[in-house]
Structure 1
């Protein structure tokens, strides 16, 4: 074999994971609007000993080399909970996945995709979805629109040419995920304000802030609603108890009470909306490094993320209320309160809502009603094996 030929190496263990993560960081650093993430957090996501996703998943990491240099990476993985879902929801029996896709050129891309496909085929999978890095709840999809501005917290950023390489390897579009950009320094349109005011006059409805003094129980409420509300959505995989505990621990530092809400009807929690201040703003300033002095800026920001943009990544209403006027009213009431408090408490001027599935007409209608505009699109591809 010539030194110029592409070799695909499976990697594992602490050194292998570090090599895999550092290669991804190298590719990310080349992109003008990419934001350097904390290396320790990236290592934790691919560590089976730390990320509870691996309690129901099997995986293999691969690195491509050529002429003695690392030139690409990919993960192949199987979420065994996804195998139990109805095929009409996008996954189901035989579903493998690839993620963490980076490549120097199209030849490397094809070799990496072929290696991931071979591994999945050997595990009995009949089709592959991707990129999904690595849980559907982490970074699903390939950025295909919106490379001209930086991503927000927990959102991937990829060069535009990756889409052509994936499609050239025989993949077809399975689903598009949308994010919406929203100017929050001015109030919502009159129709939305009337809906919100009507809700506040309804004594059955209570919109309350998340209470961090009861954090564990609040997390349980939110994720129980989420598991119910999203259970029929494309790509949905339920959170396990271990993942609920893990998510609660990881999210607590960035949860600020004034911008996170639970809606109750007759005293019963039926909906929620979470908002994260955009940590990518401070990560860019500290270049993704806590040491030697980045941790000081990070701690200051965590206490009071003044001036931060906001991202609404998750909201849910119990399934029994879907397609009702009450469901949309609760959503408008929560997002209205979040807008007011983000401006008043943190001086925010913009926010993003997403991801939203491209066929989620209810959420798209809400996004349109508040005058938000699509600013990013993420593609998930599918291929038979």
Structure 2
């Protein structure tokens, strides 16, 4: 029948292209959706290019109706995630699906059923989703904040998807939040006093990430990250290959003065990154980087003007967590980044996140600098029985 939904496994280059193009077709009229660069999407999904696939199994699916592609979904199993403690969200038997797009609820239901079926075949007993493809990329379904476009490396989904997914017996596992703040006018007086106190402490040094020795400083930041986040819900460690890949991919976003490493007695113990929001340019590129958009983007990144920023990652070594020093280092890095973002790059707003809903330290910091939650992502779970 013409209205029957057929879900098939992606096989070959033509199917892979259809999988990538599906998102552009189904979101053409979605308000505030930012078309990702197609080159990035193919790289994300290709073993040998994205090191995630070195420790993961993946199957992509396409849904068709009357021969026309009407949806897609990825199902995947991260072997490193299986090794994490179950109480931290991942753990043995936990598979994932993500990258879902669907024209209607029936299509979404058929796609989720296909993903669940494949995960069962692979021996999984539980689903944690959506995660596209790893927790370090685009985890969660946007369930609040569709009224404005996402910043760099954040997902955006149709509001209808929440009801469609929850109707398949998925329950909330965790909320992730992003926080919006006006950076032009500075932070409350209390933050200024904390920063000045830290500046009087001879043990503390807060310095810029050095682009001339970028690989070394990037290694420091990722090492702190693996330590600082190791007890966080959903944590999966970076492999050495992924470290090298991240260095290469993220270097163009590392601007002078907006990325910091904090040292105590000469030991690096904390870091904070702030990236310019390239989505303001990407949104008009319609997913195409070549032949001319790559030059436009690289030229803008030489010294962005009127650039807003996203703070995607920060971390404090575990031995200093839950101490006054940890929050002091965080406030010092935030303030130094704010000054540079405003003074050099003309920033007026920034976004911090994502932040786990129960990360009390980061939530307290977000509230202390007068930021407001502007986007909510939901990760769901379901037993496979």
Q: TM-score range by the shorter chain?
A: over 0.9
Q: Does 1:163 align with 2:162?
A: yes
Q: Which moved more, 1:80-89 or 1:285-294?
A: 285-294
For the residue of structure 1 that corresponds to 2:161, the secondary structure is helix
Structure 1 CA distance, aligned partners of 2:22 and 2:29? 11
| Contact map agreement 1:310 1:350 (CA 8 A) in 2 | yes
* TM-score (structure 1 length as normaliser): 0.98
Q: Deviation of residue 217 (structure 1)?
A: 1.1
For the residue of structure 2 that corresponds to 1:157, the secondary structure is coil
Q: Deviation of residue 287 (structure 1)?
A: 3.2
Q: Does 1:289 align with 2:288?
A: yes
| Contact map agreement 1:56 1:80 (CA 8 A) in 2 | yes
| Contact map agreement 2:222 2:243 (CA 8 A) in 1 | yes
Query: What residue in structure 1 maps to residue 127 of structure 2?
Result: 128
Query: What residue in structure 1 maps to residue 186 of structure 2?
Result: 187
Q: Does 1:90 align with 2:89?
A: yes
Structure 1 unaligned regions, length at least 5 = none
| Contact map agreement 1:17 1:47 (CA 8 A) in 2 | no
Structure 2 CA distance, aligned partners of 1:283 and 1:304? 17
Query: What residue in structure 1 maps to residue 340 of structure 2?
Result: 341
| Contact map agreement 2:39 2:289 (CA 8 A) in 1 | no
Q: Which moved more, 1:186-195 or 1:20-29?
A: 20-29
Query: What residue in structure 1 maps to residue 319 of structure 2?
Result: 320
For the residue of structure 1 that corresponds to 2:233, the secondary structure is coil
Q: Which moved more, 1:129-138 or 1:282-291?
A: 282-291
The one-character-per-residue Cα deviations of 1:206-249 (angstroms, maximum 9, x if unpaired) are: 00000111111111100000000000000000000000000000
For the residue of structure 2 that corresponds to 1:192, the secondary structure is helix
1:249-264 to structure 2, matched below 5 A, reads 249-264=248-263
Structure 1 CA distance, aligned partners of 2:276 and 2:30? 23
Query: What residue in structure 1 maps to residue 108 of structure 2?
Result: 109
1:3-152 to structure 2, matched below 5 A, reads 3-152=2-151
The one-character-per-residue Cα deviations of 1:55-88 (angstroms, maximum 9, x if unpaired) are: 0000100000011110000000000000011110
Q: Deviation of residue 292 (structure 1)?
A: 4.4
Structure 2 CA distance, aligned partners of 1:135 and 1:243? 12
Structure 2 unaligned regions, length at least 5 = none
1:264-279 to structure 2, matched below 5 A, reads 264-279=263-278
Q: Deviation of residue 27 (structure 1)?
A: 2.1
Structure 2 CA distance, aligned partners of 1:28 and 1:251? 26
| Contact map agreement 1:131 1:141 (CA 8 A) in 2 | yes
Q: Does 1:200 align with 2:181?
A: no
Query: What residue in structure 1 maps to residue 298 of structure 2?
Result: 299
Q: Deviation of residue 38 (structure 1)?
A: 1.1
1:167-246 to structure 2, matched below 5 A, reads 167-246=166-245
Q: Given the superposition, is the C-alpha separation of residues 224 and 12 from structure 1 closer, same or farther in structure 2, using an over 3 Å criterion?
A: farther
Structure 2 CA distance, aligned partners of 1:222 and 1:13? 38
Q: Deviation of residue 32 (structure 1)?
A: 1.4
The one-character-per-residue Cα deviations of 1:240-266 (angstroms, maximum 9, x if unpaired) are: 000000000000011112100000000
Structure 2 CA distance, aligned partners of 1:256 and 1:274? 10
Structure 2 CA distance, aligned partners of 1:212 and 1:220? 13
For the residue of structure 2 that corresponds to 1:77, the secondary structure is strand
For the residue of structure 2 that corresponds to 1:257, the secondary structure is coil
